[in-house]
Structure formats: structure tokens, C-alpha cells
């Protein structure tokens, strides 16, 4: 074997392939690297990142492509590179090292391990030389290697203590008495009280001027906004409703939103949502698609529905594989510069909107001048710009179109038409630029989030294209990533499939199957959801029982790789907690097909509801599931043939209404599989020869059957 051999070229991960030509002796995580560390008693340098990570690219250019730095790494360490999107279990464990050392986590993550995989030091980005108040990376490498060589006892002690701390950090330490009190309290607290308590905590950090929470950097915090929206609708909280509208409007007007191509960037570097970190993540857009759809229903504002449609169009155009699955990310950088694809100078706007010759629709030189004035004013494009003193502008819309049109003396109707033309021409011009890199991994869990959101949005917005996207993607995932035993693999890239999948992969895909069942009435989706749920319970559930402080769900499967800790992590990150989404899945299945699914979900929510009320920012999705359990559901049973236009009309009315804790069941009395898919709710329901009807049930009480959308809508709005 060559002394310096980069082993990443055969990997499927685009992130690992980006590092395949570094002069570093990189290994992927696996037996070869770990075995060498043990044989040679070398510390492991573990570097974790992802393809759309801007600072990962910076550290690569500064350090991993530097021959002298690479030489140090190769001489002193076994160097392992990990794509966090492939191995979230490793990232979950080793991120805690940095946080336990009093630093903020993030990527690139740089952690030093003993050959036994125990961490003893870590950080995130390290500069090539001393700056930003941080030591240079070469200095760090030498100091770590010297400590490992000369103070081994201290290193081993630190590694042991950090490993213990990791185990305790992911556990919710509560005395048996406190846990028992929490279990009793979840059923004793009045409906809505727990959400009200959470919203009070959220509101204390709410930015009244710009929306969202905190200052800079500012993330969408989708689960927190969802809590506000639910409380606003279910408990008629006017302040929470205003906070939702402020946030969604500010994000939609800000530079975090792509005003030409649709979709949202990862986060804003400022408190105003103006200048984003430009990467686009599939999961952000999935969560925001569902949130804007819900806001469209709850707040009756067309602009939220338009935003949801634009997200769907972006995903269809930019993030959809030819076989149907959805890609993971788009990079922040193009041509080595962050944001270059997305920002505009004043001259670039003028050039893109210049009309060289008259066109059939009358878009001539005069119109071009008017359109240019409108574009510059509406998108706030100035000579100075707003992006890094570059003279370039991140497009945003600080003023309503009506105000801009009035100031320019343009009639409102004409301004609308001009703006449509402006967006088209600017988008076409932008398409001529070199696009950011796209990570074409198809991740099971992230696809599940988007499939479910598309299915829900499709029928709410009466958009068959979205439904087609969702069904095609699910067919791909079911064929390539869902195994015969119901286990879910993690991802596919080209023809390379990797697994096993983690808790969130199983929970997200199974919930997506239920979403598709609710949107279409197709019993096969429910059968798939149940198959995955069975595998999830067999491989992730800790059935030890509450008396031993056990129960709950592990993040990694029982047949997965043995790491230094098998975590149960209830906390939301950028995506909802796998444990909370598992509880949601089991509550849904328990209400629809078999009450036996309920027990593990109820036990886990009894354990987590108390901590969730204390920490809604970290456990927002758990609060959502707990609210479903304690408040109860609104169950809509559609009785009739799925293909009957009258049944579809009832379904559309169902999905137009904002009902957070909802179950939808479809019963075709001539199809046994239809009854099996909703066995609990189907009991006692029939059309009685009257054609398609709908029942609305809450608790043990159901309405009389109704046969028109108007009657159903009245029942739902009163439910």
C-alpha cells in the first residue's frame, strides 16, 4: 500500500468525492481505517461535513489541499472523512463533543478519537494559521499528536469522561418520582394548556420587528412556527396568529427566499432575513412547504399558497431525479464564490431586461425601460448593493408591489403583468450562469418529509402536479429503499445503495405513506406504512419498560454498527425528532387501523411531554405529538368509491380546512382492502345507498353523514 493514498475515489457520496484528490491519506469510515488505528496505535482525525457546506469548502481549500498540512495529517493521524448525510449517527454522537467542550457545534466538524473511537478533543472549522481567536490547524495537529504521545493517561481519561458525558447528554435525566408525575400530568393538563405554556416561552424570544426567533444568524425554526400556528388556530390566540404572519411574510419577502426560482435557502446571516447562506436543503423546503400550506388554510391568505406552489415548482425543476426521487442539496457556492449564482448588479438587471427588438406581446424598448425601473425598485437593487461590499444585490422585496407601482406611477394591473415578465426574463438570464453543485444523493428520510408535504399540499391547493411528484417519488423509494421486511435503507446514489436506515428514515417514510393514503385513499400506502412500522418497532424500540428508565426509541437499529453509544435523541435539529415522528406515526396508525400501535407512543409521550413543555425550542415536534394525544383528533371518514367525483369533492373540502390533529379515512364498501386500511374508523360507517358521504368524528361522537362539500365544510369549521 502506498504511504499516502486517498481512498475516497470509489465512494458514492459527492461530499467524499469532493475530497478524493486531496493530498490527505483519507479513509471512509469503516474497518480499514479503524483497524489501522488499532494496529499502529494512532489517533483518528475524524472530519465530518456535507457537500453544500460553505465552510467545509473553505477548510478544504485552506488545509486539506495544502501539501504541508496534509503531510502533517498523514504522519500523525489516521484521517477519516464522513458525509453527515450518510452517517447522521456518527455526526449525532461526535457533535456533542464540541458542545460539551463549551463551543457551538456545526460543520465542518473536526474531532480527534482514540483507536477505540472515543473522542478526546474537537472543534469545527480551524483556520490555516492563527486568526479569528483560533489556533491554526497545523498548530492544533501538532499539539494533539504530542498530547497523545506524551500525556496518554490524560488523553485516555479525557476520552472516557467525554464518552460518559455523551451518553448522559442524550438522556433526559429525571427521577422516578418526576417521571411518574409527568406521566400523570400529560393526561391531567387541560387541552391547549401545554401549547399555551410553550407559546409563552417561544414568544419571549420572538423578534417583533422581523419575525422569527433570536437575532443572527436566523433560521426558519419551522417546528416552533408550527406550534404558534396550531395554538393560534386551536385556541384562538390572536398574538400567536400575528407572530406566524410576521414570520412567514418576512421570510417570503427576504433574501432567504429565491424570488426567481422558488424555494428557500438554508438560513439568514442577519436578523432581517436579507442575506442568506445560499445552500438549499431538501428538508428545509419540505418543512416550509407544509408550513406555508397550513398557513394558507389557517390564515386564508393566497400568498402563502402561492409560496407553497413555488416551492413545489422549484423541487420539480431542480431537485427531482429522472427516476422520481428527490436530491439532497444545492451548494451555496458556484465558481468558487458563495452566492454568485443568485446575486445581481444593477447593470446585470438592466441587461437582462433590455429588449433588442419588439415582440408579439408588445414587450418593446419602452416597456423594457418601465420593467427595469419596476424591477430595480421592487427588488431593491442599488448601485451599492447589499452583499459583501461587492456591488451585488440579494433580491428581496421590502415594499409591497402596490406601493412600488404607485411611487413609479404604474397602474397596479400593469405592474402585476410587468413583474411576471421581469421574473421570467431574469430567471432565463440566470439560467445561463454556472449553477451551484447539486448533491444527487437520494436520502430516504428527507424524501419522506417532502413526499408527505407534497401529498398534503397537492389536495389542499388542488394541484395534481404535486400529487404526481409525491406518488412517483414514493414509488421509487418503495422499490429501491424499502426492503421486504419493512426495513428502510438510508440512501441511493446512482446504482449504489447504502444502509441501514435510521429511526428518522423509517418514521418519515411511513408517515409519508399515511399522508399519501389520506390524500388518495389508496389502501396500498397504508399497507406499506404498517410494514415499515413493524420493522421500526422490532429494530428501534426499547421495550424495557418505564420502571428501568427504559422505553423509547433508539436512533440506530439493533442490527446497525456498534458505536461508543447507542443514543435515544428526542431533540429536534434542523429536522423533526425521529422519536417524535415515530410517536406521531403510531398515534395515526392506532387511530386508523389498530389500537395496539398506541401503547409505545403513549408511553414515550408520557416520558417526554414534561421536558418538552419546559423546552419547546428543542422538543417542538414532541409537543405537537403530545397535543394530538391529549386534545384528541378530528376524524373524517369518506365513504364512497375513490374515483367518484363526489368522493373527491368531499376530500378536497377536507383538505382545504386547517385541522392540525386530523385523521382521514377512505372506505369503499366494495373493497375489503379499503376497510382493512381504516379498520378502526370504518366501524359502523356506510353510505346507505345515498352515494358518497362523509362522517366527522371527535372522540366517541360522530356526525350524521353528509353528502355535499358545503355541509362537510360547515362541520369541519365547527369541529
* Sequence-distant (≥ 6) Cβ neighbours of residue 348 within 8 angstroms: 429
Return the pLDDT at 355: 60
Model confidence pLDDT, tens digit, residues 199-223: 999 999 999 999 999 988 999 999 9
More confident call, 186 vs 574: 574
Mean of per-residue pLDDT scores for the chain: 92
The string of DSSP codes covering 174-206 is --HHHHHHHHHHHHHSPTTHHHHHHHHHHHHTB
Model confidence pLDDT, tens digit, residues 653-695: 999 999 999 999 999 998 999 999 999 999 988 877 778 999 9
Model confidence pLDDT, tens digit, residues 58-71: 999 999 999 999 99
More confident call, 450 vs 388: 450
Contact predicate 223/572, CB 8 Å: yes
Return the pLDDT at 415: 96
Q: State the Cα–Cα distance between residues 26 and 36, nearest whole angstrom.
A: 12
413 half-sphere exposure, CB direction, 13 A CA radius: 0
pLDDT band at 366 (very low <50, low <70, confident <90, very high): low
Model confidence pLDDT, tens digit, residues 538-555: 999 997 644 344 689 999
Q: Are 14-169 and 188-332+440-631 the same fold in CATH?
A: no
More confident call, 522 vs 362: 522
> What topology does CATH give the domain 14-169?
Glutaredoxin (3.40.30)
* Sequence-distant (≥ 6) Cβ neighbours of residue 334 within 8 angstroms: 340, 341, 433, 434, 435, 436, 437
Return the pLDDT at 104: 84
Return the pLDDT at 362: 53
pLDDT band at 356 (very low <50, low <70, confident <90, very high): very low
* Sequence-distant (≥ 6) Cβ neighbours of residue 698 within 8 angstroms: 632, 633, 634, 635, 719
- Angle formed at CA 55 by CA 54 and CA 56, multiple of 5 degrees: 90
Model confidence pLDDT, tens digit, residues 470-509: 999 999 999 999 999 999 999 999 999 998 999 999 999 9
Per residue, the 3-state secondary structure of 462-476, as one string, reads CCHHHHHHHHHHHHH
Tell me 572's DSSP state: -
Model confidence pLDDT, tens digit, residues 416-446: 999 999 999 999 999 999 999 999 999 999 9
The superfamily (CATH) of domain 634-718 is Glutaredoxin (3.40.30.10)
Cell numbers 436579507 correspond to 274
What are the cell numbers at 606? 408520557
What are the cell numbers at 123? 472543534
CA distances in angstroms from 4 to 14, 22, 260, listed in the order given: 22, 10, 46
Model confidence pLDDT, tens digit, residues 42-100: 999 999 999 988 899 999 999 999 999 999 999 999 999 999 999 999 999 999 998 89
The string of DSSP codes covering 362-408 is ---HHHHHHHHHHHHHHTT--SS-SBTTTTBB-----S-HHHHHHHH
Peptide bond before residue 539 is cis, with ω within 30 degrees of 0:
no
Coil vs helix vs strand at 516: helix
Domain 188-332+440-631 has CATH 1.50.10.10: yes
Asked whether the CA dihedral 191, 195, 196, 198 is positive or negative, the reply is: positive
Return the pLDDT at 367: 62
CA distances in angstroms from 174 to 179, 552, 608, listed in the order given: 6, 14, 10
Return the pLDDT at 553: 96
Strands 78-83 and 44-49: parallel
Domain ranges for the chain, please list them.
Answer: 14-169, 188-332+440-631, 342-431, 634-718
Model confidence pLDDT, tens digit, residues 607-625: 998 899 899 999 999 999 9
For residue 49, what are the β-bridge partners?
A: 83
Question: Lowest mean pLDDT: which of 164-168, 176-180, 194-198, 513-517?
Answer: 176-180
Return the pLDDT at 206: 97
Question: Lowest mean pLDDT: which of 308-317, 462-471, 677-686?
Answer: 677-686
Question: Lowest mean pLDDT: which of 41-45, 177-181, 292-296?
Answer: 177-181
Q: Is residue 175 over pLDDT 50?
A: no
Strands lying side by side in the sheet with 442-443: 442-443, 491-493, 496-498
Question: Lowest mean pLDDT: which of 181-185, 188-192, 208-212?
Answer: 181-185
What are the cell numbers at 435? 449553477
What are the cell numbers at 59? 477548510
Amino acid at each position: 500500500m502506498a504511504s499516502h493514498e486517498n481512498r475516497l475515489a470509489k465512494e458514492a457520496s459527492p461530499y467524499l468525492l469532493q475530497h478524493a484528490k486531496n493530498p490527505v491519506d483519507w479513509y471512509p469510515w469503516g474497518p480499514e481505517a479503524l483497524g489501522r488505528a488499532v494496529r499502529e496505535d494512532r489517533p483518528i482525525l475524524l472530519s465530518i461535513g456535507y457537500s453544500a457546506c460553505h465552510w467545509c469548502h473553505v477548510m478544504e481549500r485552506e488545509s486539506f489541499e495544502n501539501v504541508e498540512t496534509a503531510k502533517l495529517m498523514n504522519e500523525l493521524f489516521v484521517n477519516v472523512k464522513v458525509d453527515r448525510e450518510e452517517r447522521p449517527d456518527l455526526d449525532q454522537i461526535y457533535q456533542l463533543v464540541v458542545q460539551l467542550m463549551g463551543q457551538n457545534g456545526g460543520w465542518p466538524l473536526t474531532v480527534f478519537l482514540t483507536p477505540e473511537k472515543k473522542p478526546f478533543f474537537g472543534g469545527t472549522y480551524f483556520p490555516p494559521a492563527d486568526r479569528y481567536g483560533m489556533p491554526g490547524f497545523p498548530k492544533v495537529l501538532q499539539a494533539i499528536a504530542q498530547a497523545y504521545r506524551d500525556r496518554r493517561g490524560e488523553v485516555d481519561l479525557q476520552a472516557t469522561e467525554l464518552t460518559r458525558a455523551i451518553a448522559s447528554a442524550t438522556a433526559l435525566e429525571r427521577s422516578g418520582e418526576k417521571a411518574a408525575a409527568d406521566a400523570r400530568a400529560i393526561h391531567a393538563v387541560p387541552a391547549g394548556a401545554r401549547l399555551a405554556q410553550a407559546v409563552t416561552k417561544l414568544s419571549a424570544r420572538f423578534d417583533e420587528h422581523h419575525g422569527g426567533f433570536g437575532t443572527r444568524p436566523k433560521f426558519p425554526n419551522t417546528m416552533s412556527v408550527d406550534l404558534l400556528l396550531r395554538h393560534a388556530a386551536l385556541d384562538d390566540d390572536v398574538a400567536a396568529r400575528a407572530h406566524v404572519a410576521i414570520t412567514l411574510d418576512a421570510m417570503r419577502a427576504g433574501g432567504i427566499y429565491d424570488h426567481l426560482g422558488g424555494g428557500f435557502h438554508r438560513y439568514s446571516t442577519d436578523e432581517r432575513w436579507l442575506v442568506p447562506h445560499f445552500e438549499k436543503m431538501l428538508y428545509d423546503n419540505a418543512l416550509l412547504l407544509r408550513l406555508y400550506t397550513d398557513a394558507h388554510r389557517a390564515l386564508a391568505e393566497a400568498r402563502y399558497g402561492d409560496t407553497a406552489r413555488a416551492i413545489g415548482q422549484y423541487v420539480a425543476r431542480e431537485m427531482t431525479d429522472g427516476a422520481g426521487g428527490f436530491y439532497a442539496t444545492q451548494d451555496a457556492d458556484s465558481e468558487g464564490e458563495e452566492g454568485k449564482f443568485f446575486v445581481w448588479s444593477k447593470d446585470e438587471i438592466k441587461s437582462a431586461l433590455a429588449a433588442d427588438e419588439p415582440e408579439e406581446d408588445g414587450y418593446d424598448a419602452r416597456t423594457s425601460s418601465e420593467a427595469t425601473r419596476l424591477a430595480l425598485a421592487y427588488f431593491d437593487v442599488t448601485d451599492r448593493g447589499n452583499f459583501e461590499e461587492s456591488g451585488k444585490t440579494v433580491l428581496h422585496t421590502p415594499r409591497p408591489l402596490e406601493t412600488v407601482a404607485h411611487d413609479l406611477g404604474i397602474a397596479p394591473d400593469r405592474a402585476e403583468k410587468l413583474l411576471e415578465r421581469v421574473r421570467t426574463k431574469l430567471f432565463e438570464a440566470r439560467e445561463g450562469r454556472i449553477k451551484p453543485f447539486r448533491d444527487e444523493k437520494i436520502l430516504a428520510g428527507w424524501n419522506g418529509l417532502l413526499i408527505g408535504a407534497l401529498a398534503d399540499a397537492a389536495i389542499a391547493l388542488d394541484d395534481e402536479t404535486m400529487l404526481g411528484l409525491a406518488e412517483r417519488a414514493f414509488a421509487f423509494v418503495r422499490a429501491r429503499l424499502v426492503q421486504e421486511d419493512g426495513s428502510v435503507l438510508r440512501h441511493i446514489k446512482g446504482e449504489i445503495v447504502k444502509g441501514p436506515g435510521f429511526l428518522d428514515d423509517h418514521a418519515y417514510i411511513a408517515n409519508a405513506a399515511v399522508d399519501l393514503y389520506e390524500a388518495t385513499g389508496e389502501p396500498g400506502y397504508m399497507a406499506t406504512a404498517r410494514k415499515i412500522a413493524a420493522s421500526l418497532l422490532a429494530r428501534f424500540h426499547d421495550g424495557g419498560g418505564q420502571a428501568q428508565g427504559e422505553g423509547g426509541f433508539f436512533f440506530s437499529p439493533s442490527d446497525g454498527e456498534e458505536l461508543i453509544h447507542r443514543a435515544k435523541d428526542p431533540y429536534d435539529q434542523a429536522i423533526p425528532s425521529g422519536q417524535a415522528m415515530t410517536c406521531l406515526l403510531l398515534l395515526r396508525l392506532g387511530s386508523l387501523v389498530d389500537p395496539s400501535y398506541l401503547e409505545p407512543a403513549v408511553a414515550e409521550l408520557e416520558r417526554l411531554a414534561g421536558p418538552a413543555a419546559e423546552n419547546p425550542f428543542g422538543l417542538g415536534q414532541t409537543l405537537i405529538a403530545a397535543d394530538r394525544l391529549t386534545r384528541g383528533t378530528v376524524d373524517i371518514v369518506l365513504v364512497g368509491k375513490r374515483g367518484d367525483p363526489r368522493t373527491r369533492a368531499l376530500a378536497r373540502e377536507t383538505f382545504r380546512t386547517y385541522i392540525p390533529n386530523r385523521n382521514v379515512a377512505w372506505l369503499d364498501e366494495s373493497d375489503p382492502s379499503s376497510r382493512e386500511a381504516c379498520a378502526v374508523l370504518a366501524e359502523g360507517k356506510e353510505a346507505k345507498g345515498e352515494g358518497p358521504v362523509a362522517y366527522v368524528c371527535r372522540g366517541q361522537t360522530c356526525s350524521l353523514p353528509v353528502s355535499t362539500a358545503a355541509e362537510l365544510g360547515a362541520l369541519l369549521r365547527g369541529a
